[in-house]
Structures are given as C-alpha cells and as structure tokens.
Homo-oligomer: A and B are copies of this chain.
Amino acid sequence: MRSGVRCMAAVSSMECVKGVKGVILDMCGVLYDSGEGGGIPIQGSIEAVKRLMDSGLILRFCTNETQNTREKFVQKLRRMGFDISVSDVFSPAPALMRILRERGLQPHLLVHDDLIPEFDGIEMNSPNCVVIGDAADRFSYENLNEAFRVLIGLKKPILFSLGQGRYYKETDGLKLDVGVFMKALEYACDVQAEVVGKPSPEFFQSVLRDMNLQPHEVVMVGDDLVNDVGGAQRCGIKGVQVRTGKYRPSDEDHPSVKADAYVDDLAAAVDAILTQKH
C-alpha cells in the first residue's frame, strides 16, 4: 500500500507491513485508555501483545509517559494484564539521563514529583539546563518563573522537553501537556527546546539500535499521528495509526502526515502483521 492512501479494509491493505521483523508499540491509547485507577485495557490488546510476543517478531514499547518512573509505569501495565518487561520499554527520562551524563549537564527539573527518582545520582547543585516533563499541577506560575529565571540566567540557555504533546484526555477532561509549556519557555527566552522522546529521531534510533534492525524492517503502531506515525516515518520506519486513543477522523486528512495504514485497533494491526508474515 502506498503512503497516503487511506486504508478502508484493515487486513487486506496492510501490505506495508510485509516482511517486517520488528514492531514498536506506543502504549497509552494503543494498549490502554488512561482513566481512574490508572487505566483500562483496550479490548483485544492484551491478547494482541501476547500474540506478537509469541510470533518471534522483535517487540519494543515506546512511550512519552513522564508522570511516573519507567518501573512504576510498567508495574501499572502488568497489573492491567500486559506481560511487559522494563527493559523493553523506552521512555524519555532514561534517554535524557544518558544525554545529561554525556554532556556533563546539571538539570533544573520542572517535572512530576513521581518522575524525580529517574534522576537519582545526577548532580543538580549548579543547574546549567532546564528539563520540563508533564508536570501537571506543578506547572504553577511560581514554578514556571523559577525555571524561566534559571534559563534566562544561563549564558547559553538549554531547555529539554520530555515530549512536545499539546494536550491529553483524562477522566475529568482535557489537560494541557508539556509541549504547551515548552512553547511558553521557548518564547520567554528566545530559545528552541531539545525534545527528548517521540517524535525525536534520536529517540526512535535508540530503539532501532536496541532491536538491532534497520528502519525498513520495523513498523510503529500508534494513536498519535504526528508524534508516533510522523516521527517514525521521518526515520524510515513504517507508521500505522490505530483508530483508538487520541485518534480523530480528521487525522486521516492531515495536511502533512499520512500514515502508511490506518486500522481500527491494535488487535486488527496484529492480525495484519501476522497475516503478512506468513
């Protein structure tokens, strides 16, 4: 199937996944919907993950979740019934920790309290960069001013943003995501943030290295057209969008990003991937 052609019948038009050796799955909106008590599995997704694991394909998970450490996040998924290991999950905070260490940077953190343990062991006494994640209620005027003052006081301001999402849905309504506050601080200090996590190419490439596969051998399945599908495609990975989670019908007419295929849900995506494999 050619990129840009809308796929009406999921399985038959998933030729784009023919011969893939590996699959990357987004998590929220693909495996589960977030909600009270942590979240609810999307119908058929627990079984679909199990079938992928049993198929011999190389499987990794890729999330922009930054309200929890990766360990706590995986525990939550396991409680829902997903048989997932921490080492198979890629999230922004551990990726950022590698960058901070490589570049010898000390962060000022504006992140969710529950994410802070990810930064254990890094020096923070003389911050020379600012890190923002999905801090939710911690995005107060006071905390934003504090992060701004650190940034504007640096000779060369460095701002890291863990993702660049606009908003997400919780049971009590839509919530502003980290990208909104990234844009705020970018404007305040006239800097451009370095995004860690999807859709950053470095983030997808680190997953590919771990899979030991070439981009064309891999398909990404996600509900976020820009960050999952578009991000993967920019690295040469196939991008399939599921019609669950934050999917909206208008995504299929997006001006700049076209998925290689659209499917109803993860179960349908796995049906197609396994059919094309045989």
CB distance from A181 to the nearest CB of B (A): 6
A176 engages B180 (CB within 8 Å)? no
Q: Interface range on chain A: under 10, 10 to 19, 20 to 34, or 35 or more?
A: 20 to 34
**How far, in angstroms, from A142 to B188 measured CA to CA in the complex?**
21
Q: Which residues of B contact A166 (CB under 8 A)?
A: 187-188, 190
Most buried by B among A137, A184, A188: A184
Q: Which residues of B contact A185 (CB under 8 A)?
A: 180
**How far, in angstroms, from A174 to B153 measured CA to CA in the complex?**
10
A142 engages B148 (CB within 8 Å)? no
Confirm or deny: A92 has a beta carbon within 8 angstroms of a beta carbon on chain B. Answer: no
Most buried by B among A139, A187, A188: A187
Q: Which residues of B contact A145 (CB under 8 A)?
A: 173-176
**How far, in angstroms, from A173 to B142 measured CA to CA in the complex?**
11
Query: Can you name the residue of chain B whose Cβ is closest to the Cβ of A148?
Result: B176
**How far, in angstroms, from A166 to B157 measured CA to CA in the complex?**
16
Confirm or deny: A152 has a beta carbon within 8 angstroms of a beta carbon on chain B. Answer: yes
Q: Which residues of B contact A97 (CB under 8 A)?
A: none
Confirm or deny: A125 has a beta carbon within 8 angstroms of a beta carbon on chain B. Answer: no
Q: Which residues of B contact A148 (CB under 8 A)?
A: 167, 174, 176, 180
Other-chain residue from B136, B142, B179, B184 in contact with A181 (beta carbon distance below 8 A): B184
Q: Which residues of B contact A173 (CB under 8 A)?
A: 145, 149
Given known contacts A140-B141, A142-B137, A167-B148, is B188 in contact with A184 (CB within 8 Å)? no
Further contacts, 15 of them, CB under 8 A, given A137-B141, A149-B173: A139-B141, A140-B141, A141-B176, A144-B176, A144-B180, A145-B173, A145-B174, A166-B187, A166-B190, A179-B187, A180-B184, A180-B187, A183-B183, A183-B184, A184-B184
Q: List 29 A-B contacts (CB under 8 A).
A: A136-B141, A137-B141, A137-B142, A138-B141, A139-B141, A139-B144, A140-B140, A140-B141, A144-B176, A144-B180, A145-B173, A145-B175, A148-B167, A148-B174, A148-B180, A149-B174, A152-B167, A166-B190, A167-B188, A176-B184, A176-B188, A179-B187, A180-B184, A180-B187, A180-B188, A183-B183, A183-B186, A183-B187, A184-B184
